Chain A
Amino acid sequence: MAVPIYDPIILLDAYRRMRAIREFEERMRREVQAGSVPGFVHLYCGQEAVAVGTCMHLRDTDYIGSTHRGHGHCIAKGCDVGDMLLEIYCKQGGLCNGKGGSMHIADLRKGMLGANAIVGGSPPIAVGAALTQATLGTDGCTVTFIGDGASNQGTVAESLNMAAILKLPLIFLYENNGYAEFTGISYHMRGNLAQRAAGFGMPGETVDGVDFFAVYDAVGRAVARARRGEGPSAVEAVAMRWYGHFEGDMQLYRDPKEVERLRATADPLVKFEERAVKEFDIAADELREIDEEITELIEEKVIAAKAAPKPPREALYTDVYGSY
């Protein structure tokens, strides 16, 4: 197999998105701890390479279906971080005008079909988006992100079968982060997620989800297959989450050393930088410039989101129906 060539522009863009996710989530963590964020927040740290390695292949007209842990997917798909923050703070002008919050961020202009607070809620919807693409005869494709916890929902099996029999341009992107809420994967599932997909007659492969390049290559194959009209694929990306199920989770089920070890040995940004600098002539200085820009951007947008007005009281009654 030919060694893939990575365009430096793509690599710098990928790094920028991963760094944005990391900075965004670390900041959210501090803000949640300070009590300034309403509702539940589920952080994506440790999994950055999965969303970005996937979404680097997608256009605005391609769709993703997301999960309750959706901030990383949004940023990777190109949602505006300022508008995301307004939404997370439930403020006017947020991506959902402040009525969705962290677990329901959607941005249809960017092909982001919504974070979804129902575990396993998104795959059937993604089947529908892929059905639209197939029916209209576009070369668009859809990716549905599925956690290892969601993989045990019946909706996932139904979606795998439906996509397979209708030969839809859909990629089942399993994010195996080791835990379904407070339950480890060694307890909650048997077999292998890629093999489950293979059981429905589609290609399935497992990759290191900490390694951007591994995710990018595998999803590239799946996306190309989808765009050629050859049907669905599955990719299982293994990348442990660094924090709890939600921010505030005491994580009594987890050895604190596990997280220390992850930070030391399984940081997707560090792993990316090592290879990008060594093999693809990316200058470390350039990455540090991106780091600074991102830090400033998030700081500015968090301050703006906190200061933004809430939706007016009348907003309670709007947008239930188009007409009624």
Chain B
Amino acid sequence: MAVKSFRDAINETLKQEMRRDSRVIVMGEDVVGGMGGSSGVAEAAGGTFGVTAGLAAEFGRRRVIDTPITESAIIGAAGGAALTGLRPVAELMFIDFIGVCLDQILNQQAKFRYMFGGKCSVPVTIRTLMGAGLGAGPQHSQSLHGVLTSIPGIKVVVPSNAADAKGLLATAIRDDDPVIFCEHKYLYGESCEVPDGEHLIPFGEANVTRTGSHVTVVAFSRMVLLANKVADKLAKEGISVEVVDPRTTSPLDKDSILESIEKTGRLVVVDEATPFCGMASEIAGLAACEALSSLKAPVQKVTAPHTPVPATPGLEQDWLPSVERIEAAIRATLTQKFARAG
């Protein structure tokens, strides 16, 4: 075990998996960086956020492929390569860019296995950056994991810490289905203890990051950090908060979520995404459909508003779910009760 950043954990996992399996390739825009530039500096970038640094030096440019800015061709080629025997890890620089290549995910990769009668595998991993907080504005800040979660045939991963990023990315690369691996850009600098060597975390297994008995908070990606912070603060007041991090939204570990709701009877869902048809609604719906008799109070949803992400300093922070809003939601659910009928 050593303390590593989220960025370094992903970099290390890519290297480990590429060493382990020669069919693993990495492709995307500037994953090497500096190709064709006038400075002649090899590997001038290693990814926009440095996540793929050092890969080309170790594995060569046949396996670490810089592409033009051409998302349909990147994601489509990754799918075609997966269909024909490679295990590509394609980088979609920002999840917002799904807009220019969604067909290759929605209509192609997600459907291949089913519409070809189970006679193929599609072992493609799409690494992509999500999340607001850097002032990048409406087209570089979204969290679209919920949109992708609604598509059968793909799996969606939303790691919240470096150790999980490592274990889940290794699982993604070895998985025989298309996986969208969503890296919150605000997490890259966050560090924690990361297991050395091989570390695999199965999909569909939630992690309870704080155990508690008064209220359940289900949070995704970076929101887990905020929820943990609030739980630690409220613990000092004697409020016992359980934080559940599903880690993958598809498959979703319903059992762990329901078990926690049955224990606490109160639910707050925190998702850095717009409020309609997203994970917060999904978890609230799950509680309504399968744990209503356990609930002692209405479910609280803490999400972004139904607006684009503003670039405006200040307004962007208002857009994001905050520790204050999470705390308020927890306090609300602790004081609210269902009105008795009749």
Q: Contact at B72–A154, with CB atoms within 8 Å?
A: yes
Residue contact B115 to A132, C-beta cutoff 8 Å: no
Judged by a CB distance under 8 angstroms, whether A186 is at the interface is no
Total contacting residues, chain B, CB less than 8 A: 46
A165 and B107 alpha carbons, distance in the complex (Å): 26
B71-85 at interface with A (beta carbon < 8 Å) = 72-85
Q: Is A321 touching B177 in the complex (CB atoms < 8 A)?
A: yes
Q: Pick the contact of A121 from B68, B107, B155 — CB < 8 Å?
A: B107
Assess whether B113 is in contact with A320, with CB atoms less than 8 Å apart. yes
Q: Contact check: which of A63, A158, A321 meets B113 at CB < 8 Å?
A: A321
- Please give me the residue from chain B that is nearest to A104 by CB atom: B115
A41 to B77, CA, bound (A): 27
In residues 98-148 of chain A, which contact B (Cβ within 8 Å)?
98-100, 104, 106, 108, 113-114, 116-118, 121, 123-133, 135-136
Bound Cα distance A154, B120 (Å)? 27
What A residues does B73 contact at CB under 8 A?
124, 127, 155, 158-159, 161-162
- Residues B85 and A128 in contact, CB atoms below 8 Å apart: no
Tell yes or no: B217 within 8 A of A by CB. Answer: no
Q: Give the CA-CA distance A133 to B25 in the complex, in Å.
A: 13
Interface of B is mostly: mixed
Do the beta carbons of B80 and A127 come within 8 Å of each other?
yes
Provided the pairs A113-B80, A124-B80, A128-B81 are in contact, do residues A319 and B108 lie with their beta carbons within 8 angstroms?
no
A95 contacts the other chain (CB 8 A): yes
Q: Are the C-beta atoms of B80 and A131 separated by less than 8 Å?
A: yes
Interface residues of B (CB under 8 A from A): 25, 62-63, 65, 67-68, 70, 72-86, 88, 103-104, 107-108, 111-121, 152-153, 155, 175-177, 204, 251
Contacts A/B (CB < 8 Å), 21 sampled: A97-B119, A99-B115, A106-B115, A108-B83, A108-B119, A121-B103, A124-B76, A126-B80, A129-B80, A130-B80, A131-B77, A131-B80, A132-B84, A159-B73, A159-B76, A165-B68, A166-B65, A320-B152, A322-B121, A324-B155, A324-B251
Q: B-contacting residues of A (Cβ < 8 Å)?
A: 63, 65, 94-100, 104, 106, 108, 113-114, 116-118, 121, 123-133, 135-136, 154-155, 158-159, 161-162, 165-166, 318-324
